[in-house]
Amino acid sequence: MPSMTSPATAFASVSIPERLARLADLAMNLWWTWNDDAASLFHDLDPRLWDTTNENPVQFLQQLDPERFAVGLADPDYLRRYDAVVARFDAMLNADRSTTWVGQHAPELLDHTLAYFSAEFGLHRALPIYSGGLGVLAGDHIKEASDLGLPVVAVSLLYRHGYLSQRLTADGWQLDVPADLAPSAEPSTLVCDEDGEPLYVHVAFDRPEYPLRLAIWRVNVGRVTLYLLDSDVEGNPDWTRTISSRLYGGDQEHRLRQELILGVGGVRALRAMGIAPTYWHANEGHSAFHLLERVREYVAAGLTFDEAAERVRATTIFTTHTPVPAGHDVFPPELMDRYFAHFWPQLGLDREQFLALGRHEKTDHGFNMTALSFRLANQRNAVSERHGEITRTMWADLWPGKEPDEVPVTHVTNGIHLPTWTAAPVASLFDQEIGPDWREKSDDPATWEAIDQISDEEFWEVHCRAKSDLIAHLRERSRRRWAAGDFDPAQVVAAGPYLEEDALTIGFARRFATYKRATLIFHDPDRLARILNDPERPVQIVFAGKAHPADEGGKRLIQEIYWRARDPRFGGRIAFAEDYDMGLAAYLVAGVDLWLNNPRAPLEASGTSGMKAAVNGVPNLSILDGWWREAWLPDNSNGWGLEPSPLEGWAQDADEAEAIYEALEQRIVPCYYDRGPSGIPHAWIAVAKNAIKTVAPRFSARRMLIEYINRLYLPAATSSGNRR
Ligand SMILES: *Cc1c(COP(=O)(O)O)cnc(C)c1O
């Protein structure tokens, strides 16, 4: 059945002048998020409103005073930029696919559509349907797919309360404030049928006679379409309407219901819209029920379970993202009985056979979504070289008789979408020094040779601009919190009012998962205080990050940092910025001087924030785990690496904290403050430039996606599973 999308009603009551009418189209496609010149068209009409609407162009246009359009209309330069952006936008949308990267290098894939499933997508801070790195990676993946011209449809859930907005109490305790996402104020449109009625699909829970009804929202991401399923639909029982509303809230049963909606509902939504993917990528095990639904379809069409499973395997890619056991969903058999008793007969299986699909004796006795995914996907990968080794050992028992190094799981190291993560001042520097086509040839190391031609003066000036943008941004955030009246003076101190533009600034921002050890640098507080308070060579640290709402331990770590930030002995040189999200991340990764990462190895599967820092000329100081093990040069010429300690627990922490202090005292602080007569730190800049040159080509989403295409997508798309 062909389907159509409801007309864009988002701007029905807004009168945009004819000359600027296409702003509405730009607002409804997230392409603007990685095209700074498109973003500036909104920004320049009303910078303050752009900021207060969270850079959400849909809300922005809905709230803009119509008089403001006159600013643009009266400015020939604005109109010229508008025309150029619209022309590029149309060229992107209407391009003959044969001219794209995929058309040139993997033309077979133009006849195939990939379905990419992920429980979260981090695309922009105004669409808070992600919690951390996994979601941001999924977002970067589909943005790059758009750039390369790969035909992709993506599937996820519309979380109306998003993840959480973080507020800290005067006591430093994290409050989990739900976001409030109104689909009409987002770049999303409801998918409708030929009669203009909302298109619904149905998924059975524990009582198959009362299936749940799901609506489908469409979000445009360049040339890629993302479909978001939504259980908040009239006619559904009240208790079911909030199932898809929060990302990672609730208990195991809630989680299982969400995953049923994503997996089973996702396949049915694509079918209902007449979309026929020929290969499928499950980003982490959360979406693994989509595999069962596809098996069910084949069995309904007459295949045996084994034949059906073989077809599904041949056409499926599965990526696992963490070696942390708690990161893998496991559902108790009682829950599986409740929700799948009506389902397994449709697969041609009995209970035992069905539960065996999710068995992983080594770690548990429940239904393990990662084990299920490994069993039903022939293309399997981890996300860094080291994570590949760990994964093969961790899951070796799924392949009895195989040694870990024979386990058929490969790795594709993560990468970041450079046009998204390169800060505007740095991107203009690249435009000017490399040429505007650096984005299209970013995976070629030769592209980045030109970095050496940039004068140190110019390079430093651009970095200092990003740094002062960060500090101004942090001040403005805390000023607003103060003005809102619920912030006490001690909280203002913790938010970083004393940060200095001239001091070496360390950034540490990530989810407060325990293995990331956010408080490691406080291991010896006296020594840290001496480093920070050196009157000649001061050092300051900016922290940010959210703890999972159910993670008391993570919240205590945040509280500890908050108290340290207020402690006079650290001289106001520690700040905690509330509400870490993609917006704050963009300021931090470009605006600090050094990016710190000290996970407990080998638990950081890849990590991506350090890549974002490096491409902006901010070197890393990091434990050699995940991606940094592959990127670091042993002479420290592109950043600083710390060998993981062979010890365990407290002794390991002590050892690694010592190594951090020593690196700061002996090498990093002296290097930063070694200034020539002009006040420029030439030795530091050499490291920063080398960070860009070595990280940008190899840790870009472009390199990553091309690797997926050549090694995993082509075999899946052209496999025998796609016999017609
Ligand atoms: C990039 C990013 C992450 C992932 O960072 P890691 O280094 O992998 O921990 C998490 N959250 C946000 C908001 C990000 O932008």
- Report CA 661 to chain centroid distance, whole Å: 31
Q: Using 50, 70 and 90 to split pLDDT, how confident is the model at 228?
A: very high
Name the pLDDT band for 181 (thresholds 50, 70, 90): confident
pLDDT for the residue numbered 247: 84
- Which of 677, 695, 676 has the alpha carbon at shortest distance from 426? 695
At 720, the pLDDT band (50, 70, 90 cuts) reads: confident
309 vs 296: CA distance, rounded Å? 9
Q: Which atom of ligand 1 is closest in space to residue 545's alpha carbon?
A: 11
**How far, in whole angstroms, is CA 509 from its chain's centroid?**
14
Give the separation between CA 156 and CA 147, rounded to whole angstroms.
21
Atom 11 of ligand 1, nearest CA residue: 132
Instruction: Name the residue of 416, 609, 611 to mutate for ligand 1: max ligand atoms within 8 A of Cβ.
Output: 609
Whose alpha carbon is nearest atom 7 of ligand 1? 609
Residues 6+ apart with CB under 8 A from 412: 319, 381, 383, 704, 707, 708, 711, 712
Pairing of strands 620-623, 640-642: parallel
What tens digit of pLDDT does each residue of 363-385 get? 677 999 999 999 999 999 999 99
The residue nearest atom 15 of ligand 1, judged by CA position, is 582
Tens-digit pLDDT profile for residues 428-468 = 999 999 999 999 999 999 999 999 999 999 999 999 999 99
Residue reference for tokens 């001219």 = 99
Provide the token pair at 524. Answer: 């010896």
- What is the spatial distance between Cα 463 and Cα 685, in angstroms, rounded to a whole number? 10
Ligand 1 center from residue 588 Cα (angstroms): 11
Of 239-248, 282-291, 673-682, the range with the lowest mean pLDDT is: 239-248
The pLDDT, as a whole number, for residue 352 is 96
CB of 335 closer than 8 Å to CB of 252:
yes
Query: Ligand 1 centroid to 139 CA: how many Å?
Result: 12
Instruction: Report whether 289 contacts 263 (CB < 8 A).
Output: yes
Report d(CA 252, CA 249) in Å as an integer: 9
Residue type, 510: R
Return the ligand 1 atom nearest residue 597 CA: 7
Task: Report which protein residue has its CA nearest ligand 1's atom 3.
Answer: 133
| Per-residue confidence band for 250, with pLDDT thresholds at 50, 70 and 90 | confident
Atom of ligand 1 nearest to the CA of 582: 13
Nearest CA to ligand 1 atom 5: 609
> Could you tell me the distance, in angstroms and rounded to a whole number, from the CA of residue 299 to the centre of ligand 1?
41
- How much distance in Å is there from the Cα of 611 to the middle of ligand 1? 10
Question: pLDDT tens digits for 11-34?
Answer: 888 889 999 999 999 999 999 999
Neighbours of 584 (CB within 10 A): 21
* Cβ atoms 589, 609 nearer than 8 A: yes
Nearest to 607 by CA among 434, 379, 413, 423: 413
Q: Provide the mean pLDDT of the chain.
A: 95
| One-letter amino acid for residue 68 of the chain | R
51-107 pLDDT, tens digit per residue, is: 999 999 999 999 999 999 999 999 999 999 999 999 999 999 999 999 999 999 999
Please give the pLDDT value at position 2. Answer: 41
Q: How far apart are the first and last CA of the chain?
A: 20
> Nearest-CA neighbor of 640 among 625, 626, 619?
619
Name every protein residue with a CB atom under 6 angstroms from any ligand 1 atom. Answer: 132-133, 136, 510, 580-582, 585, 607-610, 612
Protein residue closest via CA to atom 9 of ligand 1: 510
pLDDT tens for residues 564-592?
Answer: 999 999 999 999 999 999 999 999 999 99
Distance separating alpha carbons of residues 76 and 220, to the nearest angstrom: 30
Measured from the Cα of 581, ligand 1's closest atom is: 13
In this predicted structure, what is the pLDDT of residue 3?
46
Q: Does 656 or 243 have the greater pLDDT score?
A: 656
pLDDT exceeds 80 at position 508: yes
Q: For residue 479, give both structure tokens.
A: 């000023």
Residue 7: per-residue pLDDT? 42
Separation in Å, CA 337 to CA 203, 207, 341, 343: 16, 12, 5, 10
Please tell me the distance from the alpha carbon of residue 148 to that of residue 158, in angstroms, as a whole number: 26
Nearest to 575 by CA among 589, 592, 599: 592
What's the pLDDT score for residue 365? Answer: 77
Token readout for 375 is: 């069993």
Using CA atoms, how far residue 589 sits from 510, 563, 580, in Å, is 11, 24, 12
Alpha-carbon distance of 190 to 57, in angstroms, equals 18
Main-chain phi, psi angles of 700, to 5 degrees: -95, 155
Q: What is the pLDDT of residue 363?
A: 67
pLDDT given for residue 179 in this prediction:
81
CA 383 / ligand 1 centre spacing (Å): 15
Mutate to test the pocket of ligand 1, among 33, 121, 127, 136 (most ligand atoms within 8 A of CB): 136
Say whether pLDDT at 5 is over 80: no
Is the separation of the CB atoms in 543 and 509 below 8 Å? Answer: yes
Going by C-beta distance under 8 Å and a sequence separation of 6 or more, which residues neighbour residue 149?
95, 97, 99, 100, 101, 102, 103, 110, 223
Q: Which residues contact 567 (CB under 8 A, 6 or more apart)?
A: none
- For residues 675-714, one letter each, b for 16 or more C-beta atoms within 10 angstroms of the residue's C-beta and e for the rest, the string is eeeeeebeebbebbbbbbbbbbbbbbbbbbbbbbbeebbb
Contacts of 663 (CB under 8 A, 6+ apart): 621, 640, 642
Cα–ligand 1 centroid distance for 327 (angstroms): 16
